[in-house]
Chain A
Amino acid sequence: MTMIRGEHLYKVFGPQARKAVDLFEQGWTRDEVKEQTGALGAVIDADIDVAEGELFVVMGLSGSGKSTLVRMINRLHDPTSGTVEIDGVNVTELDGKELRDLRAGKVSMVFQRFALFPHMTILDNAAWGLETQQVDKDERYEKARKALSTVGLDGWEANYASELSGGMQQRVGLARALATEADILLMDEPFSALDPLIKRDMQSLLIELQSELRKSIIFITHDLNEAMRLGDRIAVMKDGRIEQTGEPDEILSNPATEYVAEFVRDVDRSRVLTAANAVQDPLVTLSPDTQPRAAMVQMRDHEAPELFVTESDRTLVGAVRDDDVAEAAKRGDRTIRDVLHHDYGQTGEDTPLGHTLLDAARYTLPLAVVDEQGRLVGVIPRVTLLSALANRDVLAEDGDPDANGSGPPDAAELAAQAANDGQPVASDGQAHSRGETTTGETPAEEGAHHG
């Protein structure tokens, strides 16, 4: 059953909006209309329909009109032309009171920058949609508590948003939207402002919630991986128009326009394995000021022959081996600073992994994933690296290793080597990687071909 239906939706900002719509209907392009009237077509002739219980993703680059489109659903923006129907009710015709009731009861919203009320407690934030409906205090708080509990925020009710991390703040945003028990959630890039690890957690949370609650969701993102991971169906927007709507597979295999095809080429490659979606928490890290003996204890306790070393702000400064640390202890060094080494692979969070895989697999340490400031975000275990290396798709999509400059010069050679002995590339494989073998058909050809 259709829950949300938008037909021929237009939103034009600026002068002569009506005239601009007429011109668009006659087939003018966005630039032509802009030239002629000075008006900006933020959304042009968009049709969407979202079924009950469906998670509908709207994807597109920044400025493509996604936020404007979704704001016409609950009329934070009034459409310049076109209609929106929710559950059979024409939203475009609602008066002030009816519209407020719709927003308080039927449709709720989650925002990119969380948009929490900084002067209210978490509980009051979560209860906001009920407060506007003038639900009495006890009931309001009971429902808000339940919603907070659903998103894993028990015990934070009395805190303020500024005391919470970004991920937790967006959980509050989600709880605020869930507390009203609205059937429809509008989510405008809800996870775009979050760290990759947190983002992944939040996606998982949403998937889990959705499997239970079956809301009708419009989820906006500019992140292709996110769209593919979450969407039952995806609409791709470009310059105010919807280029294609379809299931993820359909979009991948049957791109309707050159633009979508371009998009999909990207997604296909990075979807397989990017740092962001394979990353795990580092087991444990040491501070460079750790005394060698303390470091030895740590390493023994975690049965780790090597550990990463980070400053207190998580800036990655190197790694240490147990032998070297023992030496340092014997010498009577005060800290482990003198025995740091840099024999490990390192990559940025958004880098497609293809390029760094081979390089990274040479080392015994996992691949370090760092953010723009050089802070350790997480690690990708060798197991993952090696199994990815064994997967010919990855290297098929690997592209040109020189493209981002980080491709190791001997990548093809290593791949060939891996192919030959059918063993992990690294010479001194750790216990956990020993069992892994690259499968018979190896990526050698592709690797060589691209390299």
Chain B
Amino acid sequence: MADEAFSLPRIPIGDGVDAAVSFLRTELSGFFNAVQTVFGASVEAMEWVLMLPPPLVFAAIAGLIGWRLRSWQFGAFAFVAFSVVDSMNLWDETISTLSLILIATVLAVIISLPVGVLAARNDTVSTLVRPLLDFMQTLPVLVYLIPAVLLLGIGTPGGLAATLIFALPPGVRLTELGIRTVDKEVVEAAEAFGSSRNRTLMRVQMPLALPAIMQGINQIIMLALSMVVVAGFIGAGGLGNEVVRSISRVEVGTGFEAGLAVVILAIFLDRLTSVVGQPERNKSKQDA
């Protein structure tokens, strides 16, 4: 045991966080209520849309998309996989999870694109943002689950917020990386012909960074999916709930089925997003 005299005084970081959270809860309750409403409503709206087609029609559409964007084999897989989900009686849960993930992804992209662009343009922003992203990714998930619940309540909004925090970083990172690694001479050429910064960004840098950005979106989706179960702990619904319930009742079979549905979603979304944004220029014409 260290001598009292030599031990550092305790710095009350935890107390500070407590104070900050309760401050946010009281002073910014309007804001958080609004966020809560918007989060909840947007996931619900997405759910409503995705529930419109009957399961088999949905599976067929998924198959069609898979076929058009990738291959007929993948299309067939998608159709079969979603049919299996329905036959496991997990349709509603799967759609609810899918909705949460899609909304989380959309929000993550909306936030991470501009931040990534700013970080790519400005070294100061970059150095400020980087540790923040590290923090968001490495802080144990359960730790920010609690403030998320305190601020946004139990259920979908809290789950969405936690998912968002966890899934956001690769979007920012890969956007920055993508833009920074665009050939300098090409950017210089754009500017040498009088292009404004915005035009250069939209017409040259973003299109050329697209593969990296798509990779970022792909990672966002994967990370969001990995949060499904965690979100289930705070009652965000969907497959997460199913898993949590089966764990608590030690129902191995049900738990496995829910897990399988998550995997199916993961494979489908991963394969789909990893093709988009790849350069599709194979129609080569030989030199004259």
Contact = CB atoms under 8 A, between A and B. Distances in A.
A132 B207 contact: no
B191 A115 contact: no
Interface in A37-59: none
Interface string A120-144: 0000000011011100000000000
Given A117-B204, A119-B208, A160-B281, A132 B188 contact: no
Interface in B149-198: 183, 185-186, 188-196
A108 B195 contact: no
Contact of A111 (B189, B195, B196, B203): B189
Given A104-B194, A163-B285, A180-B193, A132 B185 contact: no
A309 to B, nearest CB: 23
Contacts of B121: none
B196 A162 contact: no
Given A117-B204, A118-B208, A163-B285, A103 B185 contact: no
A33 to B, nearest CB: 26
Given A115-B183, A118-B208, A129 B193 contact: yes
A46 to B, nearest CB: 20
Given A115-B189, A117-B186, A118-B208, A100 B284 contact: no
Contacts of B281: 160, 162-163
Nearest to B195: A132
Given A115-B185, A116-B186, A128 B191 contact: no
A76 B191 contact: yes
Contacts of B185: 111-113, 115
A30 interface: no
A109 interface: yes
A118 B281 CA distance: 10
Contacts of B193: 103-104, 108-109, 128-129, 132, 176, 180
Contacts of B287: 164-165, 168
A261 interface: no
Looking at chain B's contact residues, is the secondary structure mostly helix, strand, loop, or mixed? helix
Nearest to A102: B194
A113 B194 CA distance: 19
Interface size class of A (residues with CB under 8 A): 20 to 34
A101 B208 contact: no
B194 A105 contact: yes
Interface residues of B, number: 22
B194 A132 contact: yes
A438 interface: no
B199 interface: yes
Nearest to A186: B192
B269 to A, nearest CB: 25
B195 A115 contact: no
Nearest to A182: B193
A13 to B, nearest CB: 15
Q: Which of B194, B208, B285 has the most CB of A within 10 A?
A: B194
A83 interface: no
Interface string B259-288: 000000000000000000001010011010
A165 B190 CA distance: 21
A119 B190 CA distance: 13
Nearest to A108: B193
Interface in A145-203: 159-160, 162-165, 168, 176, 180, 186
Interface string B79-105: 000000000000000000000000000
Nearest to A129: B193
A373 to B, nearest CB: 19
Interface in A84-113: 99-105, 108-109, 111-113
Given A108-B193, A118-B186, A159-B285, 7 more contacts: A100-B194, A109-B192, A117-B208, A118-B208, A119-B208, A128-B189, A132-B199
Which 8 pairs between the two chains have the least Cβ-Cβ distance? A104-B194, A115-B189, A103-B194, A129-B193, A100-B194, A115-B185, A109-B192, A132-B194
23 contacts: A99-B194, A103-B193, A105-B194, A108-B193, A111-B185, A111-B188, A111-B189, A115-B183, A115-B186, A116-B186, A117-B186, A117-B204, A118-B208, A119-B208, A119-B279, A128-B195, A129-B194, A131-B199, A132-B193, A162-B284, A163-B281, A164-B287, A165-B287
